[in-house]
Structure 1
């Protein structure tokens, strides 16, 4: 492999991912499956040879797609392969046209799950893979998976958008911002870094104590994390949601955060819940079309009081999020500064600095996946969730990386009404996890129907 330029250290965002991989698998970090995988249905005529040539053009455009690691030690650097070097085939083709449609669905879901947990060779590369499943002459499923160290989910969507442009013969810009440009900027601390650290010392003091979570099976901690996912949708008027957003200035994501924090405060008896999520510091990424891993972990410590209304809670969540964004620093630097055990216990801290993970939709109409690739219509692949590839991880280590492994995590859908709850079936029965789903949806409905409802009244109604 011919290297293009000097080796580049990991960005703070990549270092966070690498630290978690080392902690999850101390003997061989590269054996940790931390990938991002997206699948799309393509309906219409498609030229597979043209699609593969377009993939090669996108690979040439972005250094991130030609990146691998120098080694698998504690502080690896990245190497970029020369754009014109030879490479393995970029598009794997699978023909299911002779398989019954109902079996095609199952196969596509299992294959996407397997791609999400594929082991990549971090030294030799490539650290991404595209698979095209042919269901019929006019219907295909495109699966794109990448090591999370390499790309975040919005970047995977951008790769698909740039693939559509290359398929149409649209030339990329003469000067494409590369990930190494972001790494150089991210390595320089902001001029007010000390002030930002003081903010985090203040809002995270005392350090988050574990939540008192009621589980269906003993959890002290469970030996494994077995992922199960339950979709939900609140019974509420979309117009009420639009009105609430207009009055409070909160996003659908923050509405979900407020509702779930109130649910955890009720179910766990907590008055302070720290939410973990991700954001991209836009001042470090001036080119919205650059791809790589830009997302950093952000902490949202939120106070919940029964005498407050849902409207007041929404304002608190909004203000907390704005403060977090204004004072954002790399997560590892925040943790080093406020937790004296953090550095000593690397490759990961003695405990996570947040209680629960809440992620939002990464769909972006301007920078997300395209509407078409050539004459083929592009739509997200619909999963039934009945055949998803299972995850089995060391539960104790999973808890340190992703928060408490007994607290169900939340995916907040883009409209503010729907989403998914992910829980550990080693400690929850489906009905036990449903308590969290029901309480979250109940809070969403109360919040939209009457934001002046006092939170404690809902707790009383729910039997607390």
Structure 2
């Protein structure tokens, strides 16, 4: 950004010394093609971002589902200043427009409506619970459902277990936030509460942009898929070509049949990669000018191919989508899913397969 340079990710792998990389960056100075992300005058109707558009559709498909909720809860022990906490939450809602935005769908499609702070404040009157009921009560609260066309899809509550033991809980629909948003949310509530406890205003700097600025900027930078020279058209062409003929699913062995109706129930399997194995994986990655991610991707694709008996394996991974520095402290929906399609051939050595995965990952 400082050099107005457009530096493709691949350059980091093709120029693997500081000297070579600096020379390549020097050649790129002044090539930053996209306009900077800045606050600008807004039209009467602010569109949804592309990621929001996806989650808006999913919400309208089933407004009774809580599967796209993002929960956040923190235990607070000690003498809680309830007035200061209420003021702090008000400060944070005022700071982040996403926490007071909803998405109606009149003629012309969905758009963003930002409410005044006073119309978006939650009722933070303490909700009394027992320790035995706490988890069940929090889960029930986190399962709050929203119709994002009619209400701001954000809720918060203070659970009081005793006079010195509380839980502050937030639940936000994915259309308004992502997992990475929980860090600025927690930090800003903490800063605001600490300041309000001393009778002062939070001392933070104003955010340089709001999410509406990002949505407008994204639409402008990506352009229309009907324009063959646009970023949108070029990227869609890449994905059409890359994912052509991809099977709907790979048939992995399972201990029970796929249910007729999606339940979203699941489980987690935890395991440890010890220091010696981690060191060996890192050394393997370095020998092949790859990353640890690429090595694990290649291993996972190999495993999935063997378990399913197919050579066509697609693996998805979330990406943060926060490629601009001004988005670091912003609450909003930025994440996306990147698809890596690989051909797992049994007669190819793993080193050769890793080289193919490296190219797949860099291309995507």
Task: State if a TM-score over 0.5 links the two structures.
Answer: yes
Report deviation, 1:74. Answer: 8.7
Q: 2:193 aligns with which of 148, 163, 167?
A: 167
Report deviation, 1:139. Answer: 3.9
Check the 8 A contact 1:144/1:156 in 2, yes or no: no
Check the 8 A contact 1:70/1:76 in 2, yes or no: yes
Report deviation, 1:162. Answer: 1.0
1:10 matches 2:44: no
Counterpart residue number, 1:132: 158
Equivalent runs, 1:326-345 vs 2, <5 Å = none
1:225 matches 2:263: yes
Check the 8 A contact 1:132/1:141 in 2, yes or no: yes
SS at match of 1:110: helix
Check the 8 A contact 2:208/2:326 in 1, yes or no: no
Check the 8 A contact 2:285/2:295 in 1, yes or no: no
Report deviation, 1:44. Answer: 4.7
Check the 8 A contact 1:257/1:317 in 2, yes or no: yes
Counterpart residue number, 1:95: 128
CA RMSD of aligned residues (A): 3.1
1:238 matches 2:271: no
TM-score by length of 1: 0.58
Q: 1:145 aligns with which of 171, 174, 194?
A: 171
1:55 matches 2:93: no
Q: 2:80 aligns with which of 40, 46, 52?
A: 46
Counterpart residue number, 1:455: none
1:267 matches 2:303: no
Equivalent runs, 1:307-386 vs 2, <5 Å = 307-308=347-348, 313-324=353-364
1:115 matches 2:166: no
SS at match of 2:346: coil
Check the 8 A contact 2:100/2:120 in 1, yes or no: no
Counterpart residue number, 2:209: 177
- Which structure's residues are more often strand, by fraction? 1
Report deviation, 1:174. Answer: 3.1
Counterpart residue number, 1:365: none
Equivalent runs, 1:68-107 vs 2, <5 Å = 68-71=102-105, 75-83=109-117, 85-91=118-124, 93-96=126-129, 99=130, 101=131, 103=132, 107=133
TM-score by length of 2: 0.72
Report deviation, 1:59. Answer: 0.5
Counterpart residue number, 1:420: none
Report deviation, 1:296. Answer: 1.9
1:263-287 Cα shifts (integer Å, max 9, x gaps) = 3212211212112232233345633
Counterpart residue number, 2:346: 306
Report deviation, 1:22. Answer: 3.8
Counterpart residue number, 1:362: none
Report deviation, 1:16. Answer: 1.1
- Hey, what's the Cα distance between the residues in 2 that align with 1:314 and 1:116? 41
Counterpart residue number, 1:280: 320
Report deviation, 1:32. Answer: 3.4
Counterpart residue number, 2:238: 199
Larger RCO: 1 or 2 (CA < 8 Å, sep 6+): 1
1:424-456 Cα shifts (integer Å, max 9, x gaps) = xxxxxxxxxxxxxxxxxxxxxxxxxxxxxxxxx
